[in-house]
Amino acid sequence: MIEIRVEGAGFDYPDGTCALQQVDALIPASSTVALAGPNGAGKTTLARLLNGLLVPTRGRVVLDGIDTSQVPASRVAGLVGYVFQNPRRQVFASTVAEEVSFGPRNLGRSETQVEAAVQAALEELDLASRAGCHPYELSQSELRRVALASVLSMQTPVLILDEPTASLDGADQERLLRVMAGLRRRGATVLVITHDMDFVAEECERMLVLRGGRVAADGPPEVVFAAGPGPGLERPAVWRVAQALDRPGVLRSAALLESLRPGPGA
């Protein structure tokens, strides 16, 4: 399990666009953190700094004591898995099994370890029967699951999920919640780039809100929502219902239902 420290990190793209300015954050090991903010706030740029796809222009990112600017990107990739929002930008192999095996094999795992990791990831995402298919023969839902499985199979201590709830149906939502529960059980650190505040309320213990390339809010979701997450971010439905029912501070649906149960003797 690893701690993530972002120390005064900034990033400028080659065209001169300043995407991040003086970002400071400490993300403890085994935590689940939402990375929120309006479009263009710098969320994806920060995620790519954490994954080693980009190196800070200023400041630094430190993973488990390792400065990402001082090691190859492949070293960082072995620590931080990244599931892209659009799976077609991530998936490239000719079969589902090859796609899911690529990551752990390139991390130097033995063939026995690779096979076990691939089988576990495929089963977790209900893809075992599709192992021999070309990924682009699959539905969009299945393709998204292949992209997630290809990162889960690497068993990295940190995962970044980019808009994981976008366009999910009920069955896919249940699978995602199952994956989140499994990641928590094994103590992984999970960062979720999302506009879905209902998901944040139910699944995340902390919010990091970016605006204009800076940290605008950082704290437990109930604190951030109480203060107001700011333009472009709505408070979750459960929070609004709880307020209407005079249950301020209640954020999760299970807690709200429990608060409405009549007490003994009622």
pLDDT at 248: 83
pLDDT in tens, the chain (266 residues): 889 999 999 999 999 999 999 999 999 999 999 999 999 999 999 999 999 999 999 999 999 999 999 999 889 989 999 999 999 989 999 999 999 999 999 999 999 999 999 999 999 999 999 999 999 999 999 999 999 999 999 999 999 999 999 888 889 999 999 999 999 999 999 999 999 999 999 999 999 999 999 999 999 999 999 888 787 788 899 888 988 899 887 888 888 888 888 766 55
Cβ contact 1:29 at 8 Å? yes
Question: Could you please report the per-residue DSSP string of 190-258?
Answer: EEEE-S-HHHHHHH-SEEEEEETTEEEEEE-HHHHHHH---TT-PPPHHHHHHHHTT-TT--SHHHHHH
Helix (H) or strand (E) holding 103: helix 96-106
User: What pLDDT does 264 receive?
Assistant: 62
Sign of CA dihedral 238, 27, 4, 177: negative
| 191/48 Cα distance (integer angstroms) | 12
Which DSSP letter does residue 2 get? -
* pTM (two decimals): 0.92
Q: How many Å apart are CA 100 and CA 127, to the nearest integer?
A: 11
